[in-house]
């Protein structure tokens, strides 16, 4: 895009990501985009990160972008035993939220003075009162789907009308959206005593006080939700919801290449991954292995055995059993740890993606036009899977939700179906074209970021 002026005249934006790769990655991609557009950018981080992968990506990010200022935020001491959660990522959200009183001195130490802050949604309700006091514009980056954003903004009003979540009917009707079955709601949110639920409801209430909500989606992927949100149907008073997606993977994320892919025929490989923090039961992992073998397809399979990478130590032979490891290696690549997902999804050999539907994975599949077999496990993944199905990006076997063991036979059949479905491939290819248009000159993402610049420039 056109050069928007010299750096000294450019708005200074600080970005404050939260914990977990699903939150950090889109922030770093946005920071890279803003820096490339000549914004003055500061990225605020905290240490230690929950996972090793987060600290690794941060160091390659700052090496790749020496022009971006790195600022460390020191967290206040926090006793996790005082809250109702054992999830290390959610506990980290809380530790950051409770350290919000330290934000003012941090912001005033930045030079040139800040034009705006971009805050992760998980931190919104604790940061907004502070930035409001400072008269500092505060935009939220929403890292999940627009459908999930609609749910977030609607849920507090639903909660206000009931005394117990058991009173929620089988379907929920968010104004402006088609009905959502109760089974798609993140199960955790039905327990109002949980830390995550408290944070979610507070963030949902406060988001209307932000200056705008930047969201990693685009119109062709989520027309209904974006329209309902921006027409004020879901909730009155919501600031503009600005689709800036898809946020495009960057070079600093690159890992070592998977040469095996180069030897596979075009469109013959299915990629199987459940993201950075979703581990299935050992029993389910083994059935998935059996399913992959039965599908007869070539595959790349990333096995995750525990939520946090620093604890994922068990050998593949132990997780899968020796016999299965031998069997799967005849037809595919199976590995533990981290893979460069961008490299896999962008490879011409890959045409299918069995995914948990973390929103970044959905967005990356759309970017490359790779059809998905949605297999959501928990959290926002079911609502995202619904988007995958409705947009034509993929298929979803809804009966697999709920934690009952899905047998290898059935998994194998569905994977085969995914890889043979020409109609689905065409729809995914269409979404890829639309995704490319969204980030191109005059596309929705570019227009959204120009709007952000325009909003901030008069304040300078």
203 counts as binding ligand G50 under rule CB under 6 A: yes
We find the least distance from the C-beta atom of residue 121 to ligand G50, in angstroms, to be: 4
386 counts as binding ligand G50 under rule CB under 6 A: no
Partner that binds at residue 341, options ligand UDP, ligand G50, none, CB closer than 5 to 8 Å by kind: ligand UDP
Closer of 25 and 42 to ligand UDP (Cβ) = 25
329-332: Cβ within 8 A, 24+ apart? 330/293, 331/292, 331/293, 331/296, 331/297, 331/298, 331/299, 332/269, 332/292, 332/297, 332/298, 332/299, 332/300, 332/301
Closer of 278 and 445 to ligand G50 (Cβ) = 278
353 counts as binding ligand UDP under rule CB under 6 A: no
Partner that binds at residue 361, options ligand UDP, ligand G50, none, CB closer than 5 to 8 Å by kind: ligand UDP
Q: Which of 53, 145, 124 is nearest to 358 (CA)?
A: 145
Closer of 230 and 278 to ligand UDP (Cβ) = 278
We find the least distance from the C-beta atom of residue 358 to ligand G50, in angstroms, to be: 8
Alpha helices in 7-145 (DSSP H): 21-36, 52-64, 88-98, 103-108, 124-133
We find the least distance from the C-beta atom of residue 207 to ligand UDP, in angstroms, to be: 20
200 counts as binding ligand G50 under rule CB under 6 A: yes
Residue pair 102/73 in contact by the 8 Å Cβ criterion: yes
Q: Which of 48, 19, 17 is nearest to 31 (CA)?
A: 17
Distance CA 411, CA 351 (A): 17
DSSP helix/strand/coil, 297:
coil
Distance CA 222, CA 227 (A): 9
Residue with tokens 């006080």: 209
Give the number of residues in contact with ligand G50, rule: CB under 6 A. Answer: 13
We find the least distance from the C-beta atom of residue 157 to ligand G50, in angstroms, to be: 15
Partner that binds at residue 122, options ligand G50, ligand UDP, none, CB closer than 5 to 8 Å by kind: ligand G50
Distance CA 327, CA 401 (A): 27
359 counts as binding ligand UDP under rule CB under 6 A: yes
Give the number of residues in contact with ligand UDP, rule: CB under 6 A. Answer: 19
Task: Write the binding mask 168 to 187 for ligand G50: x where contact by CB under 6 A, - elsewhere.
Answer: ------------------x-
Distance CA 160, CA 169 (A): 15
Laid out side by side, the sheet with 269-273 consists of 332-336, 298-303, 269-273, 350-355, 371-374, 394-396
Find the part of the chain contacting ligand UDP (CB under 6 A) among 182-190, 197-205, 292-300, 357-365.
357-365
Q: And the tokens for 156?
A: 């507090």
Active site residues: 23, 120
* Residues lying near ligand G50 in the complex (CB under 6 A): 121-122, 144, 148, 152, 186, 188, 199-200, 203, 378-380
- Write out the residues near ligand UDP by the rule CB under 6 A: 20-22, 25, 273, 275-278, 302, 338-341, 358-361, 364
């Amino acid at each position: 895009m056109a050069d928007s002026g010299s750096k000294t005249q450019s708005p200074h934006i600080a970005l404050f990501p939260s914990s977990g790769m699903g939150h950090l990655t889109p922030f770093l991609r946005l920071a890279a985009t803003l820096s490339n557009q000549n914004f003055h950018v500061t990225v605020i981080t905290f240490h230690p990160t929950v996972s090793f992968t987060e600290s690794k990506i941060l160091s390659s990010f700052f090496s790749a972008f020496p022009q971006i200022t790195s600022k460390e935020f020191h967290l206040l001491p926090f006793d996790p035993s005082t809250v109702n959660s054992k999830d290390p990522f959610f506990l980290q959200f809380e530790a950051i939220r409770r350290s919000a009183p330290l934000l003012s001195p941090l912001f005033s130490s930045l030079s040139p003075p800040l034009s705006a802050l971009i805050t992760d949604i998980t931190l919104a309700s604790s940061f907004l009162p502070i930035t409001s006091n400072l008269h500092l514009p505060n935009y939220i980056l929403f890292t999940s789907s627009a459908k999930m954003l609609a749910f977030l903004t609607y849920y507090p009003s639903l909660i206000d009308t009931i005394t117990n979540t058991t009173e929620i009917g089988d379907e929920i009707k968010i104004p402006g959206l088609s009905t959502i079955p109760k089974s798609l709601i993140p199960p955790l949110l039905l327990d109002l005593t949980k830390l995550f639920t408290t944070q979610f409801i507070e963030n949902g209430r406060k988001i209307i006080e932000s200056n705008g909500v930047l969201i990693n989606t685009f119109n062709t992927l989520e027309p209904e939700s974006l329209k309902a949100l921006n027409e004020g149907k879901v909730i009155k008073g919501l600031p503009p919801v600005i689709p800036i997606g898809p946020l495009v993977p960057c070079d600093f994320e690159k890992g070592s290449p998977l040469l095996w892919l180069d030897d596979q025929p075009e469109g013959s490989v299915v990629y199987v991954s459940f993201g950075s923090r979703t581990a299935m039961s050992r029993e389910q992992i083994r059935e998935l292995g059996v399913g992959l073998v039965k599908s007869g397809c070539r595959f790349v399979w990333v096995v995750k055995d525990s939520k946090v990478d620093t604890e994922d130590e068990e050998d593949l032979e132990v997780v899968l059993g020796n016999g299965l490891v031998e069997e799967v290696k005849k037809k595919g690549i199976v590995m533990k740890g981290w893979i460069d997902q961008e490299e896999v999804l962008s490879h011409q050999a890959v045409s299918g993606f069995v995914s948990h539907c973390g929103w970044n994975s959905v967005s990356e599949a759309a970017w490359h036009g790779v059809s998905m077999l949605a297999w959501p496990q928990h959290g926002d993944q079911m609502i995202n899977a619904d988007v995958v199905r409705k947009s034509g990006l993929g298929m979803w076997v809804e009966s697999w939700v709920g934690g009952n063991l899905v047998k290898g036979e059935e998994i194998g059949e569905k994977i085969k179906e995914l890889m043979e479905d020409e109609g689905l491939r065409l729809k995914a290819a269409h979404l890829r074209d639309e995704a490319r248009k969204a980030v191109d000159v005059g596309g929705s993402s570019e227009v959204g970021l120009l709007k952000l610049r325009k909003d901030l420039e008069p304040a300078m």
